[in-house]
Amino acid sequence: MYAYGLEINPYPSSPTPTERDAKILGGKRHKEAKSAIVECMKDLNGKVQGRDSSDNDFRVITVIQDVGSGKTHLALHIKNLKGRYNAECSFVDLSTISPKTMPSIYNAIIKGFDNDFFVQLRTKFLVYIKERAEQGDNSAKKAINYTLMNRLGGLTIQQKVDDIISGKESVSTENLKQFLVQRFNYHESVLIRNIITNSFDSIQNLEEMIGMISAISKLTHRFLGKITLFEVDEFDGNEGSIEFVKGIINSHLPACVLLLISTPSGYAEVQSTNSSVFDRLEKANYKIDLAGSNSKDELAEIAVEYIKHNDKHAKLNFNLEEELINKIQVLYEEFPEFRSVRSIINILYHAMEKSEQMNLDKIDESIIDDTIKHTYPGLKVRGSIMDVPISDFIAIKKICNESSGEEDLREAVHNLTNLVHEMGSICKLDKQNLPLDILYQDPFGAKVGIAIITNLSNTENLNQISNISKAAVVDKLVVLTNRKIPSPYNATVVNVDKSKVVDLLYFNNKYNGKKIAESDNERIEMLAKTLCII
């Protein structure tokens, strides 16, 4: 059993999404993008329903998004929806095609359709020929090899076609060709013959490819009553890619939506390579710009959606969901490595696997820490002096966001000066009722006072500290603060940012647990120096 009572790992193991993975779609901006694409498909369907399609029935959608942020996932999710919106879809990843020639791109388009698409068309085409044959069309009878002997033997045209559909019989290729050229244009007749014989001819140039793709969209609408969606992923400034897209846009394929997916850099390449194509894309029916969409909230929502989709027993309650979101957001804020869908999903996949091995009911800090150590070896908390493990960092970060953090911070500074005193670097003194947190003598005999001012400290306390400095009660005054304050007279103000707070609280945990090792001493001294204690 996986964490949260799941029977399977909800996260995909591969960095490249599959259609199965893409059935789940999370994130507000991704869902908004989906709505726009679906709206375009519904609009086109409404316009071509009940009539022949024309050159005006062509739509262009562009999707721009960063690498690893879910653009391919979105495209495959839309492909999964094709049945619900009366469409057939071919998905092509241009990054997998090399060299990008017209024959190789056309071959990828054909392979980008589901097999059942061609099965449906083949059946419809054969039924069309059957109907003509039953009406007495001799060329149709010849196309399906329906002979006098078949008729005398009691075999009907329907039975003959059924046998061809099931694979028991075959058509007459030459006679089929003669039948088709009388009723369809050249490219349409070639495509129908290819589909019926399950053998696709190769194409040689852009003109042939556009003709064949146009035939696909037109025949799909005529025989299946559906529009065609061509999804082209990783579109960039490559010469072959540009030529292909330009040809499709200029040809205005009937009953067709062209969905182009690119990265910001790839889109910039298009602009510099071919300004006319770029201008056409800028005027696309729907221009969906998702660059920079992976905010911490968006990533958290996407991650949680995977669990919710597989949570058959409703184990993910509000508290567990909030805990997981908090962990994801901490990773996002502190590590640039975890600011994309791909990286977060990768970490959570491995964390889920460990939860199953260890029979844990949720993803906790220790699992994330262990996962990062194995998946991102050498990754450290940014700005950490104490070499804080990720698991401790996440737990401490939570404390930093709570009101109790002020008392923990004061205790940590006290214990740090105690240890530095024990190490012989300073000599702690009695505070003598002064409104200071710590008073000590440095190695040079100077009297040093430390005042800790947090977001919760009041202004009156700050005024008292400033007066002490003016009265020369101490030789040196150090103010440790996590807020913006006016610098007291003759005082050194040290900004205790989040990384210093984490270091202090981590040190404090080790100090209270009597787990300070000799190897920690050098880091402790460095921490004390950054706080001007030494």
| Segment 254-287, tens digit of pLDDT | 999 999 999 999 999 999 999 999 999 999 999 9
Q: In a structure prediction context, what are the per-residue pLDDT tens digits for the chain, which is 534 residues long?
A: 999 999 999 999 888 888 888 999 999 999 999 999 999 999 999 998 878 767 678 999 999 999 888 999 999 999 999 888 999 999 999 999 999 999 999 999 999 999 999 999 999 999 999 999 999 999 999 999 988 888 888 889 999 999 999 999 999 999 999 999 999 999 999 999 999 999 999 999 999 999 999 999 999 999 999 999 999 999 999 999 999 999 999 999 999 999 999 999 999 999 999 999 999 999 999 999 998 888 999 999 999 999 999 998 888 999 999 999 988 988 888 888 888 999 999 999 999 999 999 999 999 888 888 888 888 877 777 778 988 877 788 778 766 665 456 788 889 999 999 999 999 999 999 887 777 889 999 988 899 999 888 766 555 566 777 777 677 788 888 989 887 877 777 788 898 888 888 899 999 999 999 999 988 999 999 999 999 988
DSSP 462-486: HHHHHHHHHTTSSSEEEEEESS--P
Q: What is the pLDDT of residue 405?
A: 63
Q: What is the pLDDT of residue 489?
A: 73
Q: Does domain 404-530 have CATH number 3.40.1350?
A: yes
Q: Exposed (0-12), middle (13-18) or buried (19+): which is 355, by Cβ within 10 Å?
A: buried
- For the chain, give every residue range classified as CATH 3.40.1350: 404-530
Radius of gyration, alpha carbons of the chain: 35
List 90's β-bridge partners, or say none: 230
List 58's β-bridge partners, or say none: 256
CB neighbourhood size of 257 (10 A) = 27
Token digits for 390? 């990720």
CA–CA dist 390, 381 (Å, integer): 7
Q: What is the pTM of this model?
A: 0.77
Q: Could you give the 3-state DSSP secondary structure of residue 55?
A: coil
Distinct helix (H) and strand (E) counts, the chain: 22, 10
Q: What is the pLDDT of residue 459?
A: 58
Peptide linkage before 99 cis (omega within 30 of 0): yes
Question: Which one is the CATH code of 21-113+205-289: 2.30.42.10, 3.30.200.20, 3.40.50.300, 3.30.1370.60?
Answer: 3.40.50.300
Closest alpha carbon to 513 in 337, 335, 392, 398:
392
Q: What is the pLDDT of residue 114?
A: 93
CA–CA dist 402, 398 (Å, integer): 7
- For the chain, give every residue range classified as CATH 3.40.50.300: 21-113+205-289
3-state DSSP helix/strand/coil percent for the chain, to nearest 5?
55, 10, 35
β-pairing, 447-453 vs 438-441, is antiparallel
Token digits for 152? 């005398």
Q: What is the pLDDT of residue 460?
A: 59
Q: Could you give the 3-state DSSP secondary structure of residue 248?
A: helix
CA–CA dist 356, 343 (Å, integer): 20
List 88's β-bridge partners, or say none: 228
The amino acid sitting at 336 is P
